[in-house]
Structures are given as structure tokens and as C-alpha cells.
């Protein structure tokens, strides 16, 4: 997956937080590469992208990492406005 919209998701298949982000990417029609992490043996990339918490999910868009599923959902909504919004706030009404 090359180009200016390279998206990678580091997650764990049993994590509802990872699934939340996977679902959001699918709903928006965003192609991405999924990288399964082993939390008992964290990858160098996961530790590099999420230095403080070292948790999943981590979305990497064009080399820029984002952690925490709700922050990732907000980022997806703001970055890919081509589909309906995932999150609706008071100001959207």
C-alpha cells in the first residue's frame, strides 16, 4: 500500500477497541493494512508509535501515529469526509 494515503492499523483481534477502529475504516471505505500485535511480545513498531502507553490500537497514517480508539475515530472523521460522519456531536445537530 503505497502513496500519500498509507494507513496501517496495529491491533489485536480480541480487542473491542481495535475492532471499533477496523469497523470505522470499513464504513468509511478506507483501505488499510492490519498488523496483528502480540501484547506479550510487543513489536518494535508498536513501542515506537505508542511510547507512553504501549497499547493498541494504533493507527498510522502516512507515518503519523495516533493512539486511543476514540481519538482515532475523531481523526478518521476529520480526515476522510467523503462518507457520513461516524461521530455526531452537539454542534453537528
Q: For the chain, what is the domain count? A: 1
Averaged pLDDT of the chain: 86
**68 Rama class: left (phi>0) / alpha (psi -120 to 50) / beta:** left
In three-state secondary structure terms, 58 is strand
Packed helices 69-79 and 16-28: angle between N→C axes, nearest 10 degrees: 10
Mean pLDDT of 16-21: 96
For residue 11, give the CATH number of its domain.
3.40.30.10
Q: Is residue 50 part of a domain?
A: yes
Residue 81 has pLDDT above 70, yes or no: yes
Residue % of the chain over a pLDDT of 90: 60
Residue 63 reports pLDDT greater than 80: yes
More confident residue, 89 or 75: 75
From CA 10, how far away is CA 13, in angstroms rounded? 10
pTM for the full predicted model: 0.83
Considering the domain boundaries, does residue 1 fall inside one? no
Domain-embedded: residue 81: yes
Enclosing domain of residue 66: 7-92
Cα 64 → chain centroid: 11
Q: For 56-77, what is the mean pLDDT?
A: 94
Amino acid at each position: 500500500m503505497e502513496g500519500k494515503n498509507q494507513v496501517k492499523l496495529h491491533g489485536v483481534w480480541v480487542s473491542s477497541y481495535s475492532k471499533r477502529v477496523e469497523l470505522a475504516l470499513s464504513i468509511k471505505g478506507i483501505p488499510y493494512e492490519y498488523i496483528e500485535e502480540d501484547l506479550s511480545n510487543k513489536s518494535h513498531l508498536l513501542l515506537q508509535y505508542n511510547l507512553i502507553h504501549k497499547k493498541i490500537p494504533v493507527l498510522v497514517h502516512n507515518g503519523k501515529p495516533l493512539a486511543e480508539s476514540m481519538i482515532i475515530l475523531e481523526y478518521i472523521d476529520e480526515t476522510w469526509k467523503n462518507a457520513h460522519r461516524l461521530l455526531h456531536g452537539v454542534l453537528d445537530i
